[in-house]
Structure 1
């Protein structure tokens, strides 16, 4: 994996050198704008509408709009006084329970892998955190911005989640006291949730739009046409109780089908009761007759059976881009 940052984890007097790698990647397709006539890529031009001239990068300054159409200009020297150098230390502030952190605070995930000289210290930190059930809240500066971060154990290693500060979290402005629920509605809603409850299996969930985009692009490259089936529209909810009843009936039917399939797979063959002598003799005669008929009938070759042709799985993925700052790190 590409190294984005090198530094160390510091807690107390312990210092663990680590390397940072992106733990996730976007599968979103990025398109370029082309001129329809010649299919060449369009260039973005910065132009001043007041002066009616093209503006270069050296002629740009940063301004903050404090009122409508009124700006305060911040020069490079002004911003340099506040700019912090990229920190080479992840400073652990506290150890807390993971359940106390709501997922809304999480921003982006990064792997922290150890340097070769810090394998033992790194493993000591991982195992200690795993056994205590705690995660670490830390502070780190990247790209001139100070981040709150959470360090936790994932797949026997450390992953760092950059976090939003409380001031960056928006809150819903809804008066829930005006909404009154009946006990019958709550009971049916709980039953529906119970019917839909399963263990978390990440591979079960697919980005269907991404897969359709892959097939569309591949068909365009091959000069073929690709028809996307319209999504099934859900029925309009007229009555909440009727919708709950219908949903429960549907989920219970699906649940019953899954149970029946599982029982068919796991069921064992039933032992037959030993037949008396007359039945055994009749069965023996039937077997001999069947064997003679089998010998007189030519066997069908197994290779004549039609086998389904499996289409190879697509390997089309969005083109990865490495930023200049990542290369410098």
Structure 2
């Protein structure tokens, strides 16, 4: 697995060197945007309309738009200063029970693996959390953002799950129509509960599949097998105008100008295109 983050878990005076690995992966089928006329992939570029040029990544800085068209630039150095010296530490703030966290707070999962010389301390923390039935509520910096996270035991290892902060969870009261719910009919309620009981089963993740993705994969495979694919026309490489101009100027410099003989009129210069055709 590819290491996505390297640092340590810290609680009290204990620091355990660790590495983070992506615990999940997207199985979505990704499409390219093509020009319908010729099926050429559409290109997107970072362009500055004032300087009228494409901007490279090293020329881009962060800016906060505090009002339309007016920005506050913020440097990477200023951000690093705010993060402080604990930017590479998963700092456990409290130990709590897993059931205390509502699933709405969960964001993304990462496997936690021991780093060099951290295997013993890693195993100790895993066993202590297993025996106490507790998980660690922590904070750490990842992808330029300060995250809240839950560190818990998962099978024979540890799992870190980033959490949304409370102010990132929208109030449920904003959902339209909740204030219009009516009293529940007792007979209807009993029927609904019976139906729930009939459909109740142990959770087996293997029986749930993404039918749409599998159907789309079959469609693509059938099109490939039936040679129903398209290829955009090859674009001609543009002539190197700079090199051509340099070659012409160098040729003029090496060729001495001929003066016309006395009493004769200078010959009219032929257009460059005509000279090329004659030479060819």
When normalised by structure 1's length, the TM-score is 0.61
The 8 Å contact of residues 64 and 71 in structure 1, kept in 2 or not, is answered as no
Q: Does 1:81 align with 2:78?
A: yes
Give the corresponding residue for 1:190: 193
TM-superposed deviation, 1:45? 3.4
Give the corresponding residue for 2:31: 31
Number of positions where the alignment pairs a residue of Structure 1 with one of Structure 2: 221
Do the aligned partners of residues 122 and 47 (structure 1) sit closer, same or farther apart at CA in structure 2, a change above 3 Å counting?
A: closer
Q: Distance in 1 between matches of 2:97 and 2:179?
A: 29
TM-superposed deviation, 1:212? 0.8
Unmatched 5+ stretches in structure 2: 229-280
TM-superposed deviation, 1:59? 6.8
3-state DSSP class of the match of 2:189? Answer: helix
Give the corresponding residue for 1:290: none
Unmatched 5+ stretches in structure 1: 226-329
Q: Distance in 1 between matches of 2:226 and 2:102?
A: 48
TM-superposed deviation, 1:66? 4.2
Q: Distance in 2 between matches of 1:52 and 1:20?
A: 41
The 8 Å contact of residues 66 and 72 in structure 2, kept in 1 or not, is answered as no
Q: Distance in 2 between matches of 1:201 and 1:194?
A: 17
Mapping of residues 102-117 of structure 1, within 5 Å = 102-117=102-117
Do the aligned partners of residues 16 and 184 (structure 1) sit closer, same or farther apart at CA in structure 2, a change above 3 Å counting?
A: same
Moved more, 84-93 or 199-208: 84-93
Q: Distance in 1 between matches of 2:167 and 2:134?
A: 25
Root-mean-square deviation (CA, aligned residues, Å) is 2.5
Give the corresponding residue for 2:135: 135
Give the corresponding residue for 1:257: none
Give the corresponding residue for 1:234: none
TM-superposed deviation, 1:105? 0.5
- Matching residue within 204, 210, 215 for 1:212: 215
Do the aligned partners of residues 159 and 61 (structure 1) sit closer, same or farther apart at CA in structure 2, a change above 3 Å counting?
A: closer
Q: Distance in 2 between matches of 1:147 and 1:95?
A: 17
When normalised by structure 2's length, the TM-score is 0.71
Q: Distance in 2 between matches of 1:204 and 1:46?
A: 44
TM-superposed deviation, 1:108? 0.5
Mapping of residues 166-205 of structure 1, within 5 Å = 166-173=166-173, 175-176=178-179, 178-205=181-208
Q: Distance in 1 between matches of 2:88 and 2:62?
A: 28
Do the aligned partners of residues 8 and 47 (structure 1) sit closer, same or farther apart at CA in structure 2, a change above 3 Å counting?
A: closer
Do the aligned partners of residues 53 and 114 (structure 1) sit closer, same or farther apart at CA in structure 2, a change above 3 Å counting?
A: same
When you count helix as a share of all residues, which structure comes out higher? 1
Give the corresponding residue for 1:146: 146
Do the aligned partners of residues 43 and 224 (structure 1) sit closer, same or farther apart at CA in structure 2, a change above 3 Å counting?
A: closer
